[in-house]
Chain A
């Protein structure tokens, strides 16, 4: 398995180089390499059939229980074949489709990278490995959707697709981590046996919601569906490959993969069928109201994805089989229809089905291919799609879950799907012919031809497909070894009746579709998450704008207020938590002269704020400082007091020097701001007061100075304790402080020099 993935990854990196060398025939080379890897992969099939699975494990990140594991059972096998098989055809087609376009080399790089990561995703045996590949598919699709980069739309939609699926991907990751915490492993093989550890935990609903967020975003379920139609700005082969055949099915794949681990619970059933039914109907309604060929196909893909999710929600063996058959059929016909749409656009220069008509006369061969694909989507007997539809109906009728309601919903969705098939696959080719003949190189037909008629061929040999692919897949998903025969003819029964009704109903709606115009999009415009997405982004930008204006104002004073307020909150919180809000019990023991001192400090502090003279403000500040120094003296810390005195004197002198440089004193602050500042200061003061009260209340540890008096001579041979502390006990700190001062001196020196330079320039 690793070999196959590596071949693809290397091919991806080499493809720009290959394009430089081989130019026009690069697609054949890449296709043949992909086919080679497909054959390599199919070779593993023998092991898978005999042992039910194939496990390959390489040591990768074992300390975190993450190994590079590949686990292929029937399910992975089926998906692997789809990814590589269709991938080969798509690359082949792209070569002709993109002829003459810029950056074709890069295109190959992205698309092969996508194929590699999609393939890695479906064969990964470890949730984290799977996640890595999951995100890689998102990245490569981002570049592919934005391939027509000169269009504004392309750029926006590429980003949107990656954001939506990226969001889902990260939710998925959280879900995977929770699974790991519950089950103790990321390995899929081991998880399959640990269902009880996940389904019966309290966090099961959270896990389920997280995983389903990932699934729904990738598989375009309402309300995350909007990115898929928008992604149609990509070239046709991309739409065919990523947005109908493979990537959007990654979500379905994950549902199937995790079904044995966390499926078949009530939450699973109701959430899946709820979202699924809503999606398939809404997708269907919107699709028949479109006129753009690719939009029709996109919405009908949304509808089909909804149908598969619903089937997985039903959780019976039959429903799973229906989902698998439907999935294969859909990959074939929808891929083909997209490729055809690309050719139609090339030859008729339009994608509007109201404009397109009569193309059968110019390109009859394409018409036949298209009819076949449309027939398969409609479920006409003799085509593979018919089987999918029959099984869907049967499973809906046979289950007790949502009786009668479920078959009706399926019927409605399928009728709309038939209508969409007629609009996209038939309408452009019939009717009056308007344009002159355009030649299409016959190579371009190869891929859609193979896709369309594979479905046709399969219909006649269902036994082979059933034995090799469908049954192993169904068994792998359900974990139950059963054998369901896939027969073409069930006799006259309700499903057949419904199939006939579907075709008739589809045709009827197609014919009178102009009367059916529901304008559903106008109706749902307020609900569509596309607008939610846009308003969310503009809302976020508004928040950003206001936060910049209010918090990030660029004014230091505002920053200080924010910082100070928050610090105060943090200081008060421990008090509240400790429930110790100033229960002061101690004796104050205040002397009379102390009262005098404190009031002098307080009065000067107030004076500083109200005075209109700078000089007196400085003087008053000096009083505050000296007062504090006196307090130090009274509490037996003369050395600190001396330092404080020195600093105070120095500060006052510095202030006076600066004073001459300042502009005239004026009353700048508005009244409002003054009030704000007052409230703020008073609150801060009160808060600090409480904190201080608390601190004085706590019993502090004994003084550390005793240690130094005892040890300064014995340990450091010095009698001056302060000196000994500075140069011995805390020498490293002193050293550091000296360095700090030296560094600070640099800065000041540079500034001084700058003024000298400025003066010189002024002289000049």
Chain B
């Protein structure tokens, strides 16, 4: 049995956990390649206009995998507790994919408000995966430990960058945008070319930065948005902030706007739609970085 994992959306939050989990259980996985033009174009063809660029890309990744595996892994995430919801897409992707493609989906729920934990969800897969519940439990706890260790390291690296002597740019965006090879990576590469130190909004210890969110809004209930803006705890240590989002992200359009009005730092708001070329983006980034040099 081979399980397909689209390299998009959930992948950027769960890839390590999934890797250790399936490796431990000795189950084959296939991950779609880094997003390329063909994947994105196929995704755009199969999606509707209202979907955000990231979701269109996700659909393209599923399209790539559809004939190459037995199941596609798609969790359905509602919330991580009260006021810790995810974007509706994270809840809806399962149904969207089910409607577009005729494929088998391996799905599980995360809905902590209704006591549906991640482990609970994975345990329900035991029949399909042909593993016993105790095997899954063991694999899950192994995956969590290993992921935790690696995460700690990346958090320390990210924190260390705050004391760099280069121009420090805090890059605020969703993980699935920041590390996508067509969305965030060209921007990151260009910033590195300009000799900037990039601090990532999603690589902080959310437990310790969480409190700062109420400074910007007391009513936000989107976990990943809250996590991103909680990085503003270190706003005094960076030179400038770049907000990166994909059109038409509902969460970002509200949350970023709230933040713009309350920060006193140079910031750049980049909203990407279908990506024709990087020239316009380069102009904006270069002139933004020039602020700190001239």
Asked if A and B bind, the verdict is: no
Chain B interface residues (CB < 8 Å from chain A): none
